[in-house]
Structure 1
Amino acid sequence: MLNKKLLTLCACAALAFQVHASEPLKPAATVNGVKISGEVLELLVANNVAQGGKDSPELRAALKTELIAREVLAQEAKKQKLDQEPSVKAQLSLQQGALLADTLIAKAAPKFNISEDKLRAEYKRQSELLADAEEYQISHIVTASEAEAKAVIKAAKDGRAFDQLAREKSTSPTGQKGGSLGWLMGNQINPALFNVIANLAEGSVTSVPMATPEGWQVIRLDGKRKFKVPSFEDSKQQLVNAVFANERAEFVQKLVKAAKVEQ
């Protein structure tokens, strides 16, 4: 229902915070007198493991080699005063600000109120919003030109099977599936396309091609049905994400309101 990346983002920030908060580790290496902290190496190892890698001497050796190369490059960049360039300063400031913000959110997250009552209240709110929602089963054919799309429409009207036309003519990967996009809700469809789709009869094809960034679209409405709201249990992870997002927004707004902001 809402952004599923939130908890992943929080988890990454929490990991960074935990590494930062642990006891100081032995330096991973020293380059021209500059120490590369063991915490940096451990963070890279943890990130690789989180992505499916395996903590091993070989992985650590490869990461250490990469860190040494980065440090050599960074030192040379500073020698050439690249760190003083306005654009580089701006990027460094953005990266530092983002890391600090994520770390603060991770530290505050355990205090967020993600109770059963909150989850059920969010479920009720979203269920009410979706009470009258509909889903549309759609197939489409995408062509590079308007002329090709018009030819597809004519062929469909002459009785050619839409799924076969999709396999032969569509430039979209969905062509291999007969052009099927499956079941979509209105808010998942390009608004310009949805205005046309909502007025199509089931089984009918759009009478004129529609220009989109992907190409010229020819669409068939295969079916329409009322959206069935999933159960509370089936929605639980999405509800946790939604409540977390609300708690995060409230936390941020509280800090923003307390800040002295001049523009």
Structure 2
Amino acid sequence: MPNFITHLSAAAVAVTLALPAVAQDDAPTADTVVATVGGTDITLGHMLMVRAGLPEQYQQLPPDVLWTGILDQLVQQEALSQSDDATETKRVTIALENERRALLASEAVAAAASQDLSDAAIQEAYDAKYANAEMGKEFDASHILVETEEEAQAVVAELEGGADFAAVAKEKSTGPSGPNGGSLGWFGAGMMVAPFQEAVEGMEVGTISAPVQTQFGWHVIKLNDTRTAEAPPLDEVREELTAELRDARLKEYIDGLVAEADVSRTEPGSIDASVLNQLDLLEE
């Protein structure tokens, strides 16, 4: 969401002043007036909203520097907004309406998303996703990666002649797994590029493939073993499940609100969509 202020002035950052004492007996609140411009109050709440929306590079500045910079800009903006040159055009009015709508919607989303999810709900989601799911097969494979098909064919011939796969991989493979004897460890479906994955899935344990081409070069693959994949422990996927449940509940909540609201829309095609390019309409 865009912020009205996106940077502090260089002068404000350069000058460090002590925080002004608030002339009240009670602790300051969001309604505490920090300045008045032409009869219009600027409050601590206004400053806090600007502070909350500052870019990351300003987040670590000392409070006294931030105070001076933020208050200076709010005073300047209020003075400008009261000037004869400041008119509330259609563009400004519509932007304010959009901003208010978005802020209120964000408040509603935050409130809905803050509702706690019970352990029972998370367990139910886990069971639904993993208890009876076919987790598929995992593969333990090694490979030797070379640049050309001719080199790959020579590697296959060498292996068929009895050469040790790991030793050849250490000597000739250009891939990062070469020093480890070409070992890729365990991986599941879809974790390797398609030609490599397809070749592995069609192999028998202990066999060596014909040369396989991918965008990385030519591979000679050995399938060391296979196993049935197991469901991950609940704690390992708890955050993922929680996020999925929150998203699902939020979508249900929003869909319900829209369904209950009295909504009418223009018929599809009744307005030429290219009108979205006519930004000059905001100047009317």
Bin the TM-score by the shorter chain. 0.5 to 0.7
Moved more, 232-241 or 37-46: 37-46
Inter-CA distance 256–157: structure 2 relative to 1 (3 Å threshold): farther
State whether structure 2 residue 202 is matched by structure 1 residue 199: yes
State whether structure 2 residue 39 is matched by structure 1 residue 44: no
1:251 CA displacement: 6.2
Inter-CA distance 242–150: structure 2 relative to 1 (3 Å threshold): farther
Partner residue in 2 for 1:230:
232
Inter-CA distance 113–158: structure 2 relative to 1 (3 Å threshold): farther
Secondary structure of 2:56's aligned partner: helix
How many residues are matched?
Answer: 191
Unaligned runs of 5+ in 2: 13-49, 70-101, 274-284
Secondary structure of 2:236's aligned partner: coil
Q: Which has the larger radius of gyration?
A: 2
Cα pair 1:167 1:176 within 8 Å, conserved: yes
Q: Deviations over 1:14-61 (max 9, x none)?
A: xx89xx7xxx99x9632699xxx6555463355xxxxxxxx577xx99
Secondary structure of 2:244's aligned partner: helix
Cα pair 2:141 2:224 within 8 Å, conserved: yes
Secondary structure of 2:152's aligned partner: helix
Structure-2 separation of matches of 1:256 and 1:194:
44
1:224 CA displacement: 0.7
Structure-1 separation of matches of 2:221 and 2:205:
11
Cα pair 1:123 1:239 within 8 Å, conserved: yes
1:175 CA displacement: 1.6
Inter-CA distance 41–234: structure 2 relative to 1 (3 Å threshold): closer
Query: One-letter code of the match for 1:212?
Result: T
Q: Give 1:103-182 correspondences, 5 Å limit.
A: 104=106, 107=110, 110-111=113-114, 114-128=117-131, 130-131=133-134, 133-182=136-185
State whether structure 2 residue 8 is matched by structure 1 residue 29: yes
1:104 CA displacement: 4.0
Cα pair 2:7 2:55 within 8 Å, conserved: no
Query: Percent of pairs identical after alignment?
Result: 24
Q: Which has the higher contact order (CA 8 A, sep 6+)?
A: 1
Query: One-letter code of the match for 2:137?
Result: E
Query: One-letter code of the match for 1:141?
Result: I
Inter-CA distance 227–29: structure 2 relative to 1 (3 Å threshold): closer
Q: Over aligned residue pairs, what C-alpha RMSD do you find? A: 4.3
Query: One-letter code of the match for 2:241?
Result: L
Cα pair 2:122 2:238 within 8 Å, conserved: yes
Cα pair 2:140 2:223 within 8 Å, conserved: yes
**TM-score scaled by length of structure 1:** 0.55
Partner residue in 2 for 1:82:
none
Inter-CA distance 219–43: structure 2 relative to 1 (3 Å threshold): same
Cα pair 1:146 1:216 within 8 Å, conserved: yes
Cα pair 1:140 1:181 within 8 Å, conserved: yes
1:124 CA displacement: 1.4
Cα pair 1:146 1:209 within 8 Å, conserved: yes
Q: Deviations over 1:83-123 (max 9, x none)?
A: xxxxxxxxxxxxxxxxx79x949736624674323322221
Structure-1 separation of matches of 2:195 and 2:249:
34
Inter-CA distance 42–189: structure 2 relative to 1 (3 Å threshold): closer
Query: Normalized per residue, which structure has more helix?
Result: 1
Structure-2 separation of matches of 1:165 and 1:200:
20
Query: One-letter code of the match for 1:239?
Result: L
1:222 CA displacement: 0.9
Structure-2 separation of matches of 1:153 and 1:256:
63
1:179 CA displacement: 1.6
Inter-CA distance 176–110: structure 2 relative to 1 (3 Å threshold): same
1:238 CA displacement: 3.0
